[in-house]
Amino acid sequence: MLATGIGLLTDARAQRRAVPAFNTYTLESTRAICEAAASTGLPAIVAAGSSSFRGVGREPLAAAAIAAATHAPVAIGVHLDHATDPGEIAACIALGYSSVMIDGSRLPFEDNVAVTRAVVEHAHAHGVWVEGELGGVGGDEDASSDATAGALTDPGRAAEFVARTGVDALAAAVGTVHGFTTAPVHVDVDRLGAIAAAVGVPLVLHGASGLSDAELAAAVLAGVAKVNVNAELRRAYLGALRAGLADGGDDVARLQDRAVAAMRDVAAAKLTALARPGGDTRKEIAR
């Protein structure tokens, strides 16, 4: 079922767990995400975002994600990730997205506030919740790199940002970077807890690739209710295709099945790991 409303995250935060948002680029990854959610009985978010549209187009990818979420036996949201263009956000809201992210993190503070507030006003008028970002998370959302963490989000500034924009969830810079990196990264859990206490809305963790389950659990217990997952699924997808091709396979359907199975296993493991901080909540969530 397509999950609408911020309750997907507020329920997770109340139960001290987090909902993973998996980036999708293809029909295969969308299928794998939804099957993993169904097999675990846990809610998930399909993030059909700006960078994903380059390969297959916005409308086809969005339509597939929304259809898959609508027919799933568990709650699944469809989210626009890292959009910087309010026009694109409006288009995705019109297509039926349940949530959007306006990423003004590279803008001066006042400009970030202004563009985020405008998006919030439009989205809320259409029943769509909004994620904003304050403090840039380094790295590339679509490829691993050697990026390092940049300036971290100030809790007081975060409180002002949330109050002035009305965002429903906040992505903060707390030490992670997008994609796998050569140098290890860690979450500043104390800062995360201070931000959570200051803003009063669910927090979002970007750049969680490579973090241990223990560190993810600490972040969830500190206030994170949504964790973005991209690099792990990309690697599973490409690894399955490479292995299939190395075996001499040229049956496209078989290669697709291998890719879906590999991504489904990764997604199911992440779903289960992010549910653990609050105990075994599957029966309650699946009701």
- pLDDT tens digits, 179-188: 445 555 678 8
67/100 Cα distance (integer angstroms): 17
Residue 182 domain-assigned (yes or no): yes
**189 or 287: which carries more pLDDT confidence?**
189
H or E element in which residue 71 lies: helix 58-71
What CATH number does residue 153 fall under?
Answer: 3.20.20.70
Q: Indicate whether 45 belongs to any domain.
A: yes
The count of structural domains within the chain is: 1
Return the half-sphere exposure (C-beta side, CA atoms, 13 A cut-off) of residue 209.
Answer: 28
The token pair that represents 242 in the structure block? 């490479």
- In terms of pLDDT, which residue wins out, 40 or 287? 40
Residue positions annotated with a catalytic role: 81
Residue 2 falls within a domain, yes or no?
A: no
Q: What is the pLDDT of residues 71-96, one digit of tens each?
A: 999 999 999 998 999 999 999 999 99
Q: Which amino acid is at 100?
A: V
The model's confidence at residue 102, banded by pLDDT at 50, 70 and 90, is very high
Q: How confident is the model at residue 144 (pLDDT cuts 50, 70, 90)?
A: very low
pLDDT band at 175 (very low <50, low <70, confident <90, very high): confident
Give 209-270 as a DSSP string. TT--HHHHHHHHHTTEEEEEE-HHHHHHHHHHHHHHHHTT---HHHHHHHHHHHHHHHHHHH
Give the mean pLDDT of 131-138.
79
Q: Is 68 helix (H, G, I), strand (E, B) or coil?
A: helix
Q: Does residue 1 lie within any of the structural domains?
A: no
Strand blocks (E) in 68-154 = 76-83, 99-102, 129-134
Share of the chain above pLDDT 90, in %: 73
Q: Is the pLDDT of residue 253 over 60?
A: yes
Q: What is the mean pLDDT of the chain?
A: 88
Q: What mean pLDDT do residues 248-260 have? A: 90
Q: Report residue 178's pLDDT band, with 50, 70 and 90 as the boundaries.
A: very low
- Asked if the model's pLDDT at residue 148 lies above 80, the reply is no
Question: What pLDDT is recorded for position 277?
Answer: 62
Question: What is the pLDDT at residue 195?
Answer: 95
- 143, part of any domain: yes
Q: What is the 3-state secondary structure (H, E, C) of 18-55?
A: CEEEEECCCHHHHHHHHHHHHHHCCCEEEECCHHHHHH
| 250 domain-assigned | yes
Q: Which domain holds residue 169?
A: 7-285
Residue 87 has a pLDDT of 97
pLDDT in tens, 18-37: 999 999 999 999 999 999 99
Has residue 3 got a pLDDT over 80?
yes
Q: Is residue 62 part of a domain?
A: yes
Residue 139 within a domain: yes
Distance CA 250, CA 100 (A): 38
Angle between helices 252-275 and 231-246 (to 10 degrees): 150
What six digits make up the tokens of 95?
């297509």
